[in-house]
Structure 1
Amino acid sequence: MSASTSPFRNPSTASSVLLSDVSFAWPDGTAVFDHLDLTLNAGTYSLIGANGAGKSTLLALLAGRLEPASGSITLSAGADAEVGLVTQDPQSDPRATVDAALGIADVRSALRRIENGSVDPDDFEIVGDEWDVEERALALLAQMGLPPDLDRAVGSMSGGEATLLSIVAALMRRPSLLLLDEPTNNLDTDSRARLFDAIEHFAGTVVVVSHDLELLERVDATLELYRGEVRVFGGPYSHYREVVDAEQQAAAAAVANAAGDLRKQRRELVEAQIKLDRRARTAATAEREKRVPRIIAHKRRSEAQVSAGKLRNMHRTDVDEAATRLDAAREEVRDDRTARIVVPEVEVAPRAQVVVDDRLRVDGPERIALTGPNGAGKSTLIADLIDRERIVVPYAFVPQQIVFDDPSASIAGHVAARHPDISTQEVRAHLARFLFRGNRAERTLGELSGGEKLRVALADALLGDPTPKLLILDEPTNNLDLDTVTQLVGALESWRGALVVVSHDAGFLARIGIERRVVLTRQERAR
């Protein structure tokens, strides 16, 4: 398909985005951005950063869903320019129809009335310039691999289809700025390819938050959000990693050099003090033994004290300056890639029955991937195995959609309430293994990023007594930043129980050592 015929392209909407002196803080005063300046010309950008760094917050500011405390955000296309935002795990009323989810139900109804002879001015006002709205919607649905059915119930869609529908809804707005927050969540291989095509042929500015390495290699530039600042790297993720890894190697070397210099300065301070003390003792002995006249001895002692003070101050200044250089060097060493999730130790006998079902049998500590296209029923199968009690060992399940009953509860409070028989100290120690150490465990559930919610759910699930022997994860990499994916891979590599993972992320499955794949098809679900 050529760019000129793509339904994704709208050549009149190319626009640049300017953030000038933008500051934003949460109601509790926690600063997210402080005097942020950024210019984005037409093109495709990835936005990366640790979970909780503020990526989704920045997208919400760009979309106008949040207002900056100071500064301005402007689009060169003008105040009337449209912005399309696709959030993480988009939700629609399951009773709604596709046209309602796309925001065109009222226009369709007005068109039907006009076709049936209505001359009501209100109907014509509702339609406006959208006379081809149905054709555009059907074309976009088809291009994204969705059935061209505007009357279909949203509740019948899989998670991946819901994501695709939200992308179509954003494109229906003819946006000049398209913001995508983890758009490959739940998407199968074919759907991901369609998404990549949509991004490639979009004429405006695209900002995408994603952990999908293939998508991150398709961007024009990489934006990293770190410590409230955005840094622009002129290339894909691999270029960003090369630059940052080289910088971190240099930073580590600088720390080693600064630490060595500090040790040297401290040693010289001690040696100088010993030398001065030796001189003072010699002078005191000479004065006691009256080797020199008292007035000369007193003068020498005064001069020595002044000289000693200057020497001590000089060495102490050198030590202080060396310590300052070490602190500055350590500031450049990033700790966002070193955190490690620690899962409980568990053993499963090689031939022990774990899941007893013809559709998915698990024996011993197998590592199984449950795969298949969107709508094949992977999540439905997991739910059915749980409901029919086909799992015959203690298990932990982390679902695709993580929802907390009380978003105002703290992490520690939530997990403690879920496990009343476990002491507060044990809960705290367990949460620390999932990177919620100290005050981080006091954060409220409602303020957590998608990746942080995954870690809370995982910590909660694995705190069971007895310890789970089967871990079931449904699309666990959804909403995770790249470093947290690496942390999760490390945790699953050390997991010695049975493992069943629902995922479309081939790279992730390869990294966690999947031994067997169970592939579902839509035909099997129909049966």
Structure 2
Amino acid sequence: MAHPNAPSASVTCSALSFQWPDGTTVFDELSLTIGRGRTGLVGTNGAGKSTLLRLLAGQLSPSRGSVTVGGSLAYLPQNITLDTTLRVDQALGIAERRAALRAIEAGDVSVEHFETVGDDWDVEERALATLGSLGLGDIELDRTVGQLSGGETVLLRLAALLLERPDVLLLDEPTNNLDLFARRRLYEAVDSWRSGVLVVVSHDRDLLERVDRIAELRSGSVSWYGGGWSAYQEALAVQQEAAERMLRAAEADVRRQKRELEETQIKLARRERAGKKLDAQRRAPRIVAGERKRAGQESAGKLRGLHEERLNEARKRREEAAEAVREDAEIRVSLPHTAVPAGRTVLSLAGLRPRFGALREADLHVHGPERIALVGRNGAGKTTLLRTLTGELEPLSGEARVSVPLRFLPQRLDVLDDGLSVMENVARTAPGVADNHIRAQLARFLFRGARAEQPAGTLSGGERFRAALAAVMLAEPAPQLLMLDEPTNNLDLASVRQLTSALASYRGALLIASHDLPFLESVGITRWLFLGDELRESTAEEVRELLEAPKAGVGKEAGKEGA
């Protein structure tokens, strides 16, 4: 996949600094070199992972410093947008070479055709082989991009990059929106990377297990760990244990220094009182008593200063030790009004056929606090079905009836108004609720104090998700049916844990469309629905088998809304 004669394949950042136009500093004098092999770039939401990739790709310019790339570079961003009118061969960048080959085969020996082809006489075979390796073997080169699902579009763009045979390949959250079958194909592409530089930003643990090393971006600097995700987690656990020991020792030292300072102050006060008493008894001359007092004060000041300095140093060591201990705050919120009785009908579908996707007709009844996973292949129409249930899209036939208050958290998180603060966004969904109550609840969503006043447009990815989640979960009337569309996309693993803990507090019915099976299993799914041309009730094991099986035409007739 990389040029065999590219010994210089590397990426180097030298004293790299970057600020956003509003003055927010992301990197300050960052220096690192990424060599050959597979590197997983991890870090919390807002750490700057995607920004760093964009700097490496040349899509952003550093404020200071430089980026040097050895060899050719290809970049797959998080959000793929392709012209839906393009043919597949145009999206792959091989249309001109195909046309030249067709002309030559037809007997046209014009020089420009040979110049267009160059040495790439097998370009069509390579393109088909690359598509096949990514599970897109049933996609013809003359087909239009508009007929592909969102996941297929991601894989098509990756195929185009692989055909370039880059020396450096940057992938930003490549498994977002991919079903399990497509993820397996991408995993195989990563496994087969043998030379050159591959850097992948991801929260997908299975993908991160396949890298040679982990680069953790934290507080504007990078720390390196050998091996994949499991090795990184083990190393982190050892570090955390040591950091927590150091913090306990530092806290004990602060307590000891405080105690010694207090004891010193008591001793000095006693000494001063005793000196005054002695001078009074001896009736020492005023000048002698004053000189003795000054000497005593000077000595006491030095001793007090020494202990205060030791206390300040101990506090500084405690602060440094505390910084090394990672916070893993969890969302702890009480939502009693979301409870639904077990026998209550929450949602009913009768002969429902959505406007897009593969589903022909669906009948479904949801009762009480069921937790339902909606899974299916890319293009099956999961998003379309959810949008139909909310009433945003009209069905082609049939009906969907929701019998309780419903809230929907879409992939785009467009429930937030970027111009409003977090507090104002939540207040907008909960009219009549006291501000103090909203603030108390937002604190449990980890928006404390001034953070609740932060404009939504300035939030990091993880913060934005928490704010959107708060807006739907704290809404009035309390939602007794909560629908989530791919909620773990673009979330780091700490944010996924926070989402899981928040959903543990939710007492209503849940309907979650997701490709993330480990996440679905962690939230206590009680019913699994596989979406194809019918809505099929399955077990977790059956779902996994269906998703890992080769495609059987799912998505060929799906519109662009059915990703």
Residues of 2 paired with 1:413 and 1:322: CA distance? 38
1:255–1:329 CA contact under 8 A, matched in 2: yes
Residues of 1 paired with 2:173 and 2:486: CA distance? 12
Match of 1:104 in 2: 94
Q: 2:468 aligned with 1:457, yes or no?
A: yes
Out of 357, 365, 369, the position equivalent to 2:369 is 365
Instruction: From the superposition, tell whether residues 157 and 417 of structure 1 become closer, same or farther in structure 2 (CA, over 3 Å).
Output: farther
Match of 1:88 in 2: 78
Match of 2:478 in 1: 467
Q: How does 1:467-486 map to 2 (within 5 A)?
A: 467-486=478-497
Q: 2:132 aligned with 1:142, yes or no?
A: yes
Residues of 2 paired with 1:460 and 1:112: CA distance? 57
Residues of 2 paired with 1:97 and 1:251: CA distance? 55
Q: How does 1:117-266 map to 2 (within 5 A)?
A: 126-146=116-136, 147-202=138-193, 203-266=195-258
Give the superposition deviation at 1:295. Answer: 7.1
Give the superposition deviation at 1:224. Answer: 0.2
Residues of 2 paired with 1:84 and 1:263: CA distance? 55
Give the superposition deviation at 1:208. Answer: 1.0
Give the superposition deviation at 1:271. Answer: 1.9
Residues of 2 paired with 1:382 and 1:95: CA distance? 27
Instruction: From the superposition, tell whether residues 141 and 512 of structure 1 become closer, same or farther in structure 2 (CA, over 3 Å).
Output: same
Q: Percent identity?
A: 49
Corresponding residue SS for 1:168: helix
Letter in structure 1 aligned against 2:64: S
Match of 2:4 in 1: 11
Corresponding residue SS for 2:390: helix
Residues of 1 paired with 2:78 and 2:434: CA distance? 32
Residues of 1 paired with 2:299 and 2:134: CA distance? 81
Corresponding residue SS for 2:282: coil
Q: CA RMSD in A?
A: 3.0
Instruction: From the superposition, tell whether residues 318 and 395 of structure 1 become closer, same or farther in structure 2 (CA, over 3 Å).
Output: same
Match of 2:36 in 1: 42
Letter in structure 2 aligned against 1:472: M
Q: 2:519 aligned with 1:515, yes or no?
A: no
TM normalised by structure 1 equals: 0.88
Instruction: From the superposition, tell whether residues 177 and 416 of structure 1 become closer, same or farther in structure 2 (CA, over 3 Å).
Output: same
2:42–2:214 CA contact under 8 A, matched in 1: yes
2:422–2:456 CA contact under 8 A, matched in 1: no
The alignment covers a number of residue pairs equal to 514
Deviations along 1:19-67, whole A, 9 cap, x unmatched? 2221111112211111111122211111100001100011111111112
Out of 288, 300, 306, the position equivalent to 2:298 is 306
Out of 46, 49, 54, the position equivalent to 1:60 is 54
Out of 390, 396, 405, the position equivalent to 2:401 is 390
Match of 1:353 in 2: 345
- Give 5+ residue unaligned stretches, structure 1: 1-7
Instruction: From the superposition, tell whether residues 416 and 373 of structure 1 become closer, same or farther in structure 2 (CA, over 3 Å).
Output: closer
After TM superposition, the structure 1 stretch with the greater mean CA deviation from structure 2, 372-381 or 57-66, is 372-381
Residues of 2 paired with 1:25 and 1:310: CA distance? 45
Residues of 2 paired with 1:343 and 1:110: CA distance? 66
Give the superposition deviation at 1:9. Answer: 6.0
2:332–2:505 CA contact under 8 A, matched in 1: no
Corresponding residue SS for 2:40: strand
1:377–1:522 CA contact under 8 A, matched in 2: no
After TM superposition, the structure 1 stretch with the greater mean CA deviation from structure 2, 472-481 or 260-269, is 260-269
Give the superposition deviation at 1:282. Answer: 2.4
Instruction: From the superposition, tell whether residues 294 and 205 of structure 1 become closer, same or farther in structure 2 (CA, over 3 Å).
Output: closer
Give the superposition deviation at 1:247. Answer: 1.9
Deviations along 1:80-123, whole A, 9 cap, x unmatched? x1x22222232223333323332334444454455556566665
Instruction: From the superposition, tell whether residues 66 and 278 of structure 1 become closer, same or farther in structure 2 (CA, over 3 Å).
Output: same
1:44–1:221 CA contact under 8 A, matched in 2: yes
Letter in structure 1 aligned against 2:84: P
1:412–1:428 CA contact under 8 A, matched in 2: no
Instruction: From the superposition, tell whether residues 130 and 467 of structure 1 become closer, same or farther in structure 2 (CA, over 3 Å).
Output: farther
2:213–2:228 CA contact under 8 A, matched in 1: yes
2:375–2:529 CA contact under 8 A, matched in 1: yes
1:86–1:179 CA contact under 8 A, matched in 2: yes
Match of 1:415 in 2: 425
Match of 1:376 in 2: 380
1:269–1:316 CA contact under 8 A, matched in 2: yes
Give the superposition deviation at 1:207. Answer: 0.9
Residues of 2 paired with 1:459 and 1:116: CA distance? 63
Give the superposition deviation at 1:383. Answer: 2.8
Residues of 2 paired with 1:253 and 1:59: CA distance? 35
Instruction: From the superposition, tell whether residues 443 and 515 of structure 1 become closer, same or farther in structure 2 (CA, over 3 Å).
Output: same
Instruction: From the superposition, tell whether residues 105 and 442 of structure 1 become closer, same or farther in structure 2 (CA, over 3 Å).
Output: farther
After TM superposition, the structure 1 stretch with the greater mean CA deviation from structure 2, 320-329 or 383-392, is 383-392
Residues of 2 paired with 1:194 and 1:117: CA distance? 39
Residues of 2 paired with 1:340 and 1:11: CA distance? 49
Instruction: From the superposition, tell whether residues 376 and 416 of structure 1 become closer, same or farther in structure 2 (CA, over 3 Å).
Output: closer
Deviations along 1:350-387, whole A, 9 cap, x unmatched? 11111112544311101111122223332233233333
Out of 27, 30, 34, the position equivalent to 1:33 is 27
Residues of 1 paired with 2:424 and 2:91: CA distance? 33
Corresponding residue SS for 1:164: helix
Out of 310, 316, 323, the position equivalent to 1:324 is 316
2:18–2:63 CA contact under 8 A, matched in 1: yes
Match of 2:352 in 1: none
Give the superposition deviation at 1:284. Answer: 2.1
